[in-house]
Structure 1
Amino acid sequence: MTRVCLIGNDNCNLQYELLSRETSREALATYDLTRPFENTIALRTVSVGAAVSLLNDLNWYLTRFVDEALVQEPSISDDEWLSRSLAEQLRNGAVEPDETAEFCKIYGLERVADTDSEDEPKSAATDGDDSSETERARSEPSSRLVEPLYVRRTAGELPDYDLRDVDETLVVRLTEAEHSP
């Protein structure tokens, strides 16, 4: 199954913004939502095409509340993600799977203190709908994504993340244009 992860803007609560609006809430209603990192929402789709289609359906909300939309396709990599642009190129046949690994962005994963945030709303508005998606998405993440490092894979190896002292990282494959704007 292909995974999608939406990384929220710093100035908003992504879960609240997406689930409090009827159109985005309905688009996400059929998915089991999780929060793998602070201010993110993740879900599984059946394919890269379905993931890109969902992102296109949510585009109005993505431009307002999301810093980045990521797609993870197991046939490409079990532990690396694709940028939205790269996933679109892959779906459209403009790039082959083995051509996706050269340009990357590496996020550090920083541990989050296990406390309730007072600036987060207690629940998203649901207009009387079943709020099970909201409750599933509420699980508190144990880490947050920090400072991306843009790198180029050479001889099949990625450089180490050295912007902060972190135990884990998350690798996102990019298009050349995203790597060198």
Structure 2
Amino acid sequence: MTDVCIVAKEGKRLPGDLYAYETAYRALSTYDATYPWENALAVETISLGTAVSLLNDLDWYLARVAADAFVRDPSVSETEWLSRPLARDLRDGDGDPEDRVNRLKVYGIEDGRLVDPTMVLRGDAQEGTYERAEYDDAVVVRVTKDEFF
């Protein structure tokens, strides 16, 4: 199963602000939403293609209420997430899921919220934990070269 995570913009609340749009509500109503972080909503889809399609369907609404959205596909990584553009590239066959990506966006977790996304260049391209000492934990999102620069 592939997870989709939507992170709320500052001052927005999920699911309320997203579900206020009837079309977004209908698109998400077939999924069981969870809230892994206070400012994020997650749903489980059946595949990378389904996850990308869902985010594409929600694009107009995400532009209004979301700061970020990303995907975690177990065929690529059990722990690291993929940015929307990277997930789209992999779905379209424009990337190799076996490639270890050096470009990352790393979120800190503070008081149960995703905070302070920081771009990081990982030197050895080995998957694993990435620590942000000033935070309780971290969430790693692989990004494309274009997103990084």
TM-score grouping bracket, smaller chain normalisation: over 0.9
- SS across alignment from 1:76: coil
Matching residue of 1:53:
53
Deviations 1:75-133 (A, max 9, x none): 1111100000100000001111123522101111112xxxxxxxxxxxxxxxxxxxxxx
Q: Which piece of structure 1 moves more, 55-64 or 96-105?
A: 96-105
Q: Distance in 1 between matches of 2:40 and 2:72?
A: 15
2:3/2:45 contact within 8 Å kept: yes
Deviations 1:131-150 (A, max 9, x none): xxxxxxxxxxxx10111221
Q: Distance in 2 between matches of 1:160 and 1:90?
A: 23
Identity %: 44
The equivalent position to 1:148 in structure 2, one of 104, 114, 117, is: 117
CA separation of 1:152 and 1:159: change in aligned 2, threshold 3 A: farther
Deviations 1:32-56 (A, max 9, x none): 0011112211000000100010111
User: What displacement does 1:156 show?
Assistant: 3.0
Amino acid at match of 1:149: T
Q: Distance in 2 between matches of 1:22 and 1:105?
A: 31
Q: Which has the larger Rg?
A: 1
1:15/1:39 contact within 8 Å kept: no
Q: Distance in 2 between matches of 1:160 and 1:46?
A: 27
Matching residue of 1:85:
85
Structure ranking higher in strand proportion: 2
Q: How many pairs are equivalent?
A: 148
Larger RCO, structures 1/2 (Cα 8 Å, 6+ apart): 1
CA RMSD of aligned residues (A): 1.7
CA separation of 1:23 and 1:160: change in aligned 2, threshold 3 A: closer
Matching residue of 1:114:
none
CA separation of 1:159 and 1:19: change in aligned 2, threshold 3 A: closer
CA separation of 1:14 and 1:156: change in aligned 2, threshold 3 A: same
Matching residue of 1:178:
147
User: What displacement does 1:159 show?
Assistant: 9.2
2:105/2:117 contact within 8 Å kept: yes
Residues 155-166 of structure 1 mapped to structure 2, 5 A cutoff: 155-157=124-126, 161-162=131-132, 165-166=134-135
Give TM-score scaled by structure 2 length.
0.92
Q: Distance in 2 between matches of 1:70 and 1:81?
A: 6
Matching residue of 2:25:
25
The equivalent position to 1:167 in structure 2, one of 103, 113, 136, is: 136
